[in-house]
Amino acid sequence: MRTYFLGIDGGGSKCRASLCTEDGHIVGRGIAGTANPFQSVSRTIESITASVAAALGDAGLAESHLQGTHAGVGLAGVNLPALYRKIADWPHGFASMHLTTDLEIACYGAHNGPDGAVIVAGTGSGAFVSVNGQRRIYGAHGFSFGDTASGAWLGHQAVRAVLVANDGLGPSTALSEALEEIVGGCGVTMVERMMTSTPRDFARLAPTVFDAAGADDAVATAIVGEGAAYLDRTAERLWEHDPPRMSLLGGLRELYASYLSPATLERLSPPAAEPDAGALLYVRTKVLGDDGPVAGPSAGSTG
Amino acid sequence: MRTYFLGIDGGGSKCRASLCTEDGHIVGRGIAGTANPFQSVSRTIESITASVAAALGDAGLAESHLQGTHAGVGLAGVNLPALYRKIADWPHGFASMHLTTDLEIACYGAHNGPDGAVIVAGTGSGAFVSVNGQRRIYGAHGFSFGDTASGAWLGHQAVRAVLVANDGLGPSTALSEALEEIVGGCGVTMVERMMTSTPRDFARLAPTVFDAAGADDAVATAIVGEGAAYLDRTAERLWEHDPPRMSLLGGLRELYASYLSPATLERLSPPAAEPDAGALLYVRTKVLGDDGPVAGPSAGSTG
């Protein structure tokens, strides 16, 4: 049986799987829905399974090939030992599974190897630095306890601000009209419509918050400014570890750029590749001890 | 069959039921666990049922007497139409059930009748004013979207501040040591231990936040100050309605007193009675058109 490698990048919005051959050529890709163990371990496993099935299908390979496939899986929340164990104990059927945080595989991708620093600002947020085998995570406490500056945090802060404004207990904001239109109601109707909202649902409001900040709405500007200041502080902490490179990743990378301090911006390097390529590099490094980049036509521009 | 009245005060921590005769004498009391529809409608109904059974038992009455009993029920969250309907549709077995917000029954109790204003700062928070039949709720959006200044909010803010401090991404605080001792871990261990925490669990940390603020910890002082400023703004909004009286209620009433503005403090009157007495007065008013106070040995000092 031939040996394959799977790189799996789970996130609050999507789960991406990339399949490559032993010599590093990508032969299949698959995408599935949300894979965030903080929200649901069972849903995460479903999304991983679906993305892997899609990647196998894309490569024209039968499911039986999983037995010869080594998987590198990066997920939010597995910095928590209990969540790590739940995923690690899953009877996955791979030849081997190498599980780590979404942050570490993002770092592998961004810097084409283990060493460097990354700040992720997407649906969730977190940061990671690795220098000569010394690794440290900042944040990554999930939506309930952290995720400051993330899309989910921005959207949630905006909803809170709109509800307070609606009661005359906080400043008026252009976010009120914008969110009422998206959510389809204000006050208790807004609360009702968002009662079962996930971090992903809140994150969908993030571009609206940046739009309002761009139009000089004071409340939106304060929210975005608080997020940017948190990212600046995070960048400072990471830089103290003296990483060879540092990158800002995630869906909000471009939107935050004009709000970050010059000190942060001048230290940022563009990521070499996306996290799913990082997951492949991670698993190949673990299995083959191969620190080189993943070959293939799109290793530098996946996703 | 004799007619009875039940006053039920549901809250994030406890559900209290008081049973009185038609002439207003309290003959039984019962207490059960959490009754917050925002958290769980089924648990709320269980707690109401348990508190009523305890009150009947306390009065030495068989369950069959419920058929002759009119119940006034005050609950958080029933300002949301969907939650109101879920509770109102419950096959309760009472002669009649009069359902309203925990805030309205608190107002009835505090002012011995329908008119007045109340601010509640307990496990949750909210405010209510009623003047000549015109009623308005402020806040009461639940833990996820509001509850600023509440015990759950204070505890949650403290946990977030401690996690940020632990990462060196926010100021150090005496709350770190205090919360680590209570929770039994810091960083991801704290996140793991609090992942399934309810608003009630967070509210248990509120006295610790006041303790740290009292000892001049800057982070705790900022959290308590933000809560107090919100209560001050709420008091101003309520006062604009020109209520005959205004009271501050809830488990944090005493703890907040020294942080509120002089303008707020001079407008506050002590509550005449607790919310469970208010629930009795509410249901008697609805059924009998009786605006007078509930008689009985402990009508003014229940709970």
Residue A57 lies in a domain: yes
Give me the amino acid identity at A287: V
Asked if pLDDT for residue A108 goes beyond 90, the answer is yes
Same domain, yes or no: B8 and B48: yes
Kindly state whether residues B130 and B86 are assigned to the same domain.
Answer: no
Q: Give yes or no: residues A239 and A124 share one domain.
A: yes
Nearest-5° Cα angle at B132, B129 to B133: 75
Contacts of A161 in chain B (CB under 8 A): none
Determine contact: A138 vs chain B, CB below 8 A. yes
| A109 touches A271 (CB < 8 A) | yes
CB-based contact A219:A175 (threshold 8 Å): yes
Q: In this structure, are A117 and A42 located in the same domain?
A: no
Record: contact B81-A230, CB cut-off 8 A: no
Same domain as A171, residue A259: yes
- Same domain (yes/no): A276, A264: no
Point out which residues pair with A247 in neighbouring strands.
Answer: A118
As for how many domains chain A has, the answer is 2
- Is B188 a member of any domain? yes
Please check whether residue A196 touches B, CB under 8 A: no
Residue B256 maps to which CATH number? 3.30.420.40
Within a domain: residue A171? yes
Q: Examine the domain organization and report whether B78 and B158 are in the same domain.
A: no
Q: What are phi and psi of A302, to 5 degrees?
A: -75, 175
Take residue A32 and report the two structure tokens written for it: 């599935």
Same domain, B144 and B253: yes
Neighbours of A145 (CB within 10 A): 22
Q: Are residues B82 and B160 in the same domain?
A: no
Chain A residues with CB under 8 Å of B237 CB are: 167-169
What domain range includes position B125? 113-270
Can you give the pLDDT of all 303 residues of chain B as single tens digits?
A: 789 999 999 987 889 999 999 998 999 999 999 998 988 999 999 999 999 999 999 999 999 999 999 999 999 889 889 899 999 999 999 999 999 999 999 999 999 999 999 999 998 999 999 999 899 999 988 888 989 999 999 999 999 999 999 999 999 999 999 999 999 888 888 998 998 899 989 999 999 999 999 999 999 999 999 999 999 999 999 999 999 999 999 999 999 999 999 999 999 999 999 898 999 999 999 998 855 444 443 333 333
Strands (E), chain B: 4-10, 15-21, 26-32, 69-75, 96-101, 116-121, 125-131, 134-139, 246-249
Domain-located, residue A251 = yes
Amino acid sitting at position B218: A
Residue A64 lies in a domain: yes
Residue B300 lies in a domain: no
Whole-complex ipTM: 0.85
B17 and B48 inside one domain: yes
Same domain as A189, residue A167: yes
Tens of pLDDT, residues A260-275: 999 999 999 999 998 9
Q: Is residue A298 one of the residues assigned to a domain?
A: no
Rounded-to-integer distance, Cα B3 and Cα B273, Å: 23
Same domain, A48 and A124: no
Q: Is A249 contained in some domain?
A: yes
Displacement of CA A258 from its chain's centroid (Å): 21
Window 80-109 of A: residues touching B by CB (8 A cutoff) are: 80-82
Cβ-defined contact of A167 to B139 (cutoff 8 Å): yes
